[in-house]
Structure 1
């Protein structure tokens, strides 16, 4: 029953041109990806700072793989809380002048974890409509009320805020909108 339904969904997606197949990347050469046997410039990367191609970072990662292995094999709360991670979080917090820092394996997991923890039923979040889908999932998990405002439209945000009780809403936006590359326009 389920198999037939899923197969029909896949057939419908293919017929509608909506079936996605990830491109197979054969390797990396600096800022280029090797695709179909030739180097192509990667315009789809989230590696904004280029740290993924840094030789210094690669050597550190290689050294730490030898020392710690490829996995902690456990969550941090059980036995996967390594000194090196605590030191990195501490250095990050100190550098940016914060009391503490917490690293997540990905932006997706950070958005789910942070938003579902900070907000709860009864809270209100007003969000830019171009935030990443993972932020929307985090808001859903939080059970908070949420209302969108037009992308980068501070007038629309102000109107939304005027409808809430003073101090009663959090605003959620991205400084660099990952889906289209826009920068947050706080001056509006």
Structure 2
């Protein structure tokens, strides 16, 4: 006999299954490379955020192993107790230098970095203004901050300005993704920076999907758009995507970082990441800066795919990033195409509501510097065949 808890929760699960929105976990049994083993089967994968192919790089692995031998595995405590190691400290200094900021502060995850920064910077009597397509962590942080939370239309500067005109908030925080995770497009950061300064507001950018990929040296959206610390005072980046490691950081002024150390609860009350992970990230950071070919090859792959997809009349988004969504629309159809690709040995996940708006379900295709042009052609051929099959079903 099921418990009252199970009886109460089960209908919502059944409803999600019936709406083709049920999520299941796949079991990865290989390193994160274009060729993966999932649930005992081999696939060519186009669904990883390992954009530069560093998650399985021998130098990154060696750095982690060496540091674990020297410093152990667990950090043992929070940064403010006894967990802030020399590897953490060196990584923060290198991230600050790389992003052109005075200081950087490590967090264990991107979700925690966003939650920590936003809730430390604004509260009751303040205003937080977020793009409607921001990542869930940004939206959750805005809601939980206690500030008046407003969402403006995607990349719509006029809509944002009209909201700023009406606010009486003591502090005004504008928050956007640098590269939007489900659409792959960029925020208009130079215009947002100018708008923020004009309105005496602070600009915060989540550069999870730009860091490592954009900019001449890979320093991300700020470098790509040429924005300094004054123009973009609160820069967040994650280390589990293009950097191939784990964790996140906030970069900015000395005063900003000291404020987060004192007031960001997710930072204060969380065990520090393993020092070996910080050492691995330091190795990947060096590779990001010295192996320019990774970004150059990635850009060739993206251009090749977009040209091929447009020839097939696939509905693409306005994206020059490694995120190249193909919009399908209907949830069940997106799932069907994903399943047919899997039958051909190609792994791409169907993204459905509530992650994306109803009616915009899509195949979220992502590229890595480890992919080849031939593998992209294999994907395009499979899409051509499957789209033809689905149209005639």
**For this structure pair, what is the TM-score category when the shorter chain's length is used for normalisation?**
0.7 to 0.9
State the number of aligned residues.
187
1:66–1:31 Cα change, 3 Å: farther
Q: 1:155 aligns with which of 153, 158, 182?
A: 158
1:10 Cα offset (Å): 2.6
**TM-score, structure 2 as length reference:** 0.44
Relative to structure 1, the CA distance from residue 180 to residue 120 in structure 2 (aligned partners, 3 Å threshold; closer, same or farther) is same
The aligned counterpart of 1:59 is 62
Map 1:12-161 to 2 at 5 A.
Answer: 12-28=15-31, 30-35=33-38, 36-43=40-47, 45-161=48-164
Regions of 4+ moved over 4 Å: 165-168
CA distance in 1 between counterparts of 2:138 and 2:148 reads 13
Q: Does 1:6 align with 2:9?
A: yes
Please list every run of 5 or more consecutive structure 2 residues that lacks an aligned counterpart in the other structure. 193-393
- Normalised by the length of structure 1, the TM-score is 0.87
User: More helix per residue: 1 or 2?
Assistant: 2
**Change over 3 Å in CA distance of 1:132–1:9 after alignment to 2:** same
1:29 CA displacement: 6.1
In structure 2, how many angstroms separate the alpha carbons of the residues matched to 1:176 and 1:47? 15
Larger relative contact order, structure 1 or 2 (CA cutoff 8 Å, min sep 6) = 2
Segments of structure 1 that go 5 or more residues without pairing to the other structure are: none
Whether the 8 Å contact between 1:127 and 1:171 is mirrored in structure 2 is yes
Distance (Å, rounded) in 1 between the aligned partners of 2:82 and 2:18: 48
